[in-house]
Amino acid sequence: MDTRETLLWEEDSQYSRPYLIVTSENVKKDYLEYLDSKNISWIATGKEHIDLNRAVEILATEFNIERLAIVSGGKIDGGFLDAGLIDEISILMGPGVDGRTNAPSVFDGRANDSHSLPLKLQSVQSYDNGAIWIRYQVQK
């Protein structure tokens, strides 16, 4: 996801994976031409913000992508949560505490009147280094 036209690639990228950028319709034509020049697929949907529901529809119909792993920050996580697009939450927690002021949380940017979503515990796995992996199913 790139709403600020900041994802750029060097000529000789060390990565050989295919890329796909999801952005809003406000993106500049020059950036889309840049992506085209790098053979990077893109989806532009939503006026001011990315229309996540439409983006997921396009991923399914045009790119045959039926399952996503959202590995991101709190605002993108919160957007997918608000759009009803998350069915599982997987959290890997290490044995340490941050607690800094203004540090982002797992789900940021949700409206103050948003309701919390109930979760059903699927599994908990612990590791020798003290880390735990918790998996929840979102109850809709």
- Would you give per-residue pLDDT tens digits along the chain (140 residues)? 665 556 665 655 555 666 788 999 998 899 899 888 888 889 999 998 899 999 999 999 999 998 988 888 888 888 898 899 999 999 999 998 877 887 777 777 777 777 888 999 999 999 999 999 999 999 98
Beta partners for residue 123, in sequence order: 135
pTM of the model: 0.75
Evaluate whether 79 touches 52 at the Cβ level (below 8 Å). yes
The secondary structure of 51-104 as a DSSP string is -HHHHHHHHHHHH----------HHHHHHHHHTT---EEEEEE-S-----TT--
Greatest alpha-carbon span in the chain: 50
- Residues 92 and 69: their CA atoms lie apart, in Å, by 14
Give residue for tokens 């809709």: 140
> Which run of H or E residues covers position 88?
strand 88-93
CATH 3.40.430.10, the chain: domain bounds: 73-140
Architecture of domain 73-140: 3-Layer(aba) Sandwich (3.40)
Tokens representing residue 52 in the block: 């996540």
